[in-house]
Structure formats: C-alpha cells, structure tokens
Amino acid sequence: MGRSHALSGAVVWLGGCALAASLGARPAVGTVVVGAAVTAGGALLPDVDHPGSVIARSLGPVTRLIAHGTAAGAAALRAASCACCAGRGGHRAITHTLVFAVAAGLVVSLLCWVGGDVAAAAVAGLAAALAMRGAVRRRTRGAWGAALTGLVVGLMAAALPGPGGGWWWVGLPLGLGCLVHSLGDALTFSRVPLLWPIRIRGCRWAAVGMWAPLRFRTGSAAELLLVVPVLMLLGAISAWTLITP
C-alpha cells in the first residue's frame, strides 16, 4: 500500500520536527519541508524490488527495468547468503533490511554533500514526486500532480536556506523513510528480514514482525479505516504545532 507508506514517512518526520519545536529547538522551514518530502519518498523506496509497486511504475519502462534488475539481484543475494533461502525470490529481501536503510541514507548524504544545493534539490524533488504518486490513486491525475509537486518542492529546496552547514543530512530522512517502510511491512502479514545478516534460528533472512494476532492484512479495512485516519490526524497535529508560533 503505497499511500500508507508515503503517509507514515511524512508523519514520522513532521512528528519529529514538532517534538523538537515543542522542546524549544524549532527546525528551519527547509528542514521541515525537504525532510518530510524525502522521508515520504524514501518510504516507497524499499518496494523497488517488486515490479508491480508504485516506484516501479513511476517512470514507465525505466523504473520497471530497475525494479526487475533489483528483484533479480536481491533474489541472487538472498540465495547466496543463506543456504536455506534458495528460490525464495527477491521481494522483501535486501531492500527491507536495516542495512539497506543505513546504506541508502549514506549514499544520499554523500551525494548531497558533494553535489550541494543542486543535488539536494533534485533528491527532494524526486522524493516529493514519488511520494505524491504513492498518495494519489488515479494514474493520470497522479502523474501531473506528482510532477508539479516534485517541481515545487525541488524549487523550494533550492530557494530556502538549509539549516546551516549544507545538505549532507538529507540522507537521514531518506534512510528513516526506508526504515519506516520496513517496519510498516513488519506490522502486516508480510514480515521482513529486518536484521539481515544476523542469523535467527539458523536463517539470515528470518522474517521479523508483529505477534500474529495483532497483524493486519495490507489493503484491509483496518488499514483504510484505522491506520490512514490516525496517520492523517497525527500529521495534522504535527503540522499545526509547527505552523503556530
């Protein structure tokens, strides 16, 4: 469910910013906007290992090809790094681990550190476009809305002063978004190998997740009627805390 993932990413960042503000350390506008966009977009990134996901369909054949490549690579890595995991495929494998979240964050931090304003604006714009694509249902409307959102957030990132000291921190919301995605998956019936390569009961890709009776199915009524409204409420409260002086 792309919508819940994107939404939960943005809410985690906004909530963190609201908490910082209420403790007296009000973050810069650029930190709030760019961070929320990148966390929301990053929260869709782990599903790049599935050709049917939002991110795989976001740029047509290009992203589909990337998704097929990632799925194949992830399947090969899973089979190679654990004897009991041959033939289990590439979905919910390496991209759904803590190691991936940290590595993706480091790569983006390096990119923004070296590339400066331009790289940060590009990352923020792409992430925002992707998040919008995940949040909106209808395909065509989603494409234009996503492109426009990406452009606006990208320009904002370029125009707004960062929190001083440059943009190296953009990897933090990205990695956080990846982690929020994997934790979100762990709460559903589809658990994730979050702790790879640590062996659990002999398997390096042991699925970790919620205690069975408390898990819910993706796309279920519980997600639509409970998770999405609660996330929206938390996001609204956080945004209100940040807007009011």
Q: Which residues bind Zn ion (CB under 5 A)?
A: 46-47, 82, 84-85, 185, 203, 205
Of all residues in the shown chain, the one whose CB is closest to Zn ion is 203
Specify the residue, 5 or 14, whose C-beta has the smaller distance to Zn ion.
Answer: 5
By beta-carbon proximity to Zn ion, the closer residue of 134 and 150 is 134
Residue with tokens 């409260």: 237
Residue 15 CA to residue 241 CA, distance in Å, equals 9
From the CB of 111, what's the least distance to Zn ion, in Å? 23
Nearest to 6 by CA among 32, 27, 30, 37: 37
Residue 97 CA from chain centroid, whole number? 12
Is the backbone peptide bond immediately before 197 cis, with ω within 30 degrees of 0?
yes
Least distance to Zn ion from the beta carbon of 206, Å? 7
Helix (DSSP H) and strand (DSSP E) numbers for the chain = 9, 0
Nearest CA among 166, 163, 128 for reference residue 149: 128
Q: 50 vs 153, which CB is nearer to Zn ion?
A: 50
CA 34/CA 226 separation, integer angstroms: 27
CB of 46: closest distance to Zn ion in angstroms? Answer: 5
Q: At what angle do helices 171-186 and 98-135 cross, to 10 degrees?
A: 90
Neighbours of 101 (CB within 10 A): 25
Which residue lies nearer to Zn ion by CB, 46 or 162? Answer: 46
Least distance between Zn ion and beta carbon 141 (Å): 24
Instruction: Provide, rounded to whole angstroms, the least separation between the CB of residue 43 and Zn ion.
Output: 9
Q: Provide the minimum distance between the beta carbon of 181 and Zn ion in the complex, in angstroms, as a whole number.
A: 6
